[in-house]
Amino acid sequence: MTASKTTPRYFALLPAAGVGARMAADGPKQYLTVGGKPMLRHAVDAFRASDLVAHTYVVVSAADGQIDGVLPADLDGVTVLRCGGATRMDTVLNALRELQGVVAGGDMIMVHDAARPGLTPALIAKLIDGVGDDAAGGLLALPVVDTVKRATGVVPVAATTVSRNGLWLAQTPQMFSYELLLRALGSAPDANAITDDASAVEMLGLSPRLIEGHPRNLKVTLPADIRIAEMYLAAGE
């Protein structure tokens, strides 16, 4: 008799130990207010509103003094881990090690940028459905629609036009089994070269699925991005 496959649980993991240097703000950008509440809280609330997510973990630095005001200790379905590292990869890897024994190897981990306040339960469901049981996992992403130029020179000039065929812009969440993500990040040779979790999985020779996301799920990186995010939040698309 063939043993039945265990149904995985889905967990959210939000690395929030960064300082947001490009925002030119007084503190970490995840705490900047967008549409009336901190960006981080928008992202967390999207996972809390999804019936598919078993629990949400937010990872901050040990010295973070703002998190308690954004995510109170009694907030249902959320746990704060104070084990943030020097890089994004270190932060995620520290959290995964902290969760050893709490989640199973086959459970799915959705890593999401704290500075993407436009996530919705519908996008979470789309990712889970789109990845299905693919062993390589997958991520939300957008196909490139603009013409792409490769620049050269100190003062940038267009050196050549790059074909946009097959090019996608990675978003988050990026979802992989706990076992796979731990192995991928743990074996990555250079933390600074891992700009997203999918790149670590790709280094293992695997090809994560690309699930089409939505422009509202943009990453707030520059001050002007806040207004764009607020427009999407106000539209409720």
- CA distances from residue 135 to 64, 132, 194 in whole angstroms, order as listed: 35, 9, 20
**Distance separating alpha carbons of residues 132 and 111, to the nearest angstrom:** 16
Going by C-alpha positions, the residue among 68, 97, 107, 88 that lies closest to residue 219 is 88
Quote the mean pLDDT of the chain: 93
Q: pLDDT tens digit string along 139-198? A: 999 999 999 999 999 999 999 999 999 999 999 999 999 999 999 999 998 888 888 999
Q: What is the pLDDT of residues 2-12, one digit of tens each?
A: 445 689 999 99
Query: Using an 8 Å Cβ cutoff, are 139 and 171 in contact?
Result: yes
CA nearest neighbour of 15 among 113, 87, 110? 113
- Mean pLDDT in residue range 119-130: 98
- Asked whether 103 and 9 are in contact (CB, 8 A), the reply is yes
**Burial track 153-188 (b if 16+ CB lie within 10 A, e otherwise):** eeeeeeeeeeeeeeeeebbbbbbbbbebbbbbbeeb
Report pLDDT for 1: 45
The model's confidence at residue 26, banded by pLDDT at 50, 70 and 90, is low
What six digits make up the tokens of 119?
Answer: 């996530």
Tell which CATH architecture fits domain 10-235. Answer: Alpha-Beta Complex (3.90)
Confidence of residue 19 (pLDDT cuts 50, 70, 90): low
Spatial separation of the C-alpha atoms in residues 4 and 27, rounded to whole Å: 49
In the chain, domain spans: 10-235
Q: How far apart are CA 79 and CA 217, in angstroms?
A: 23
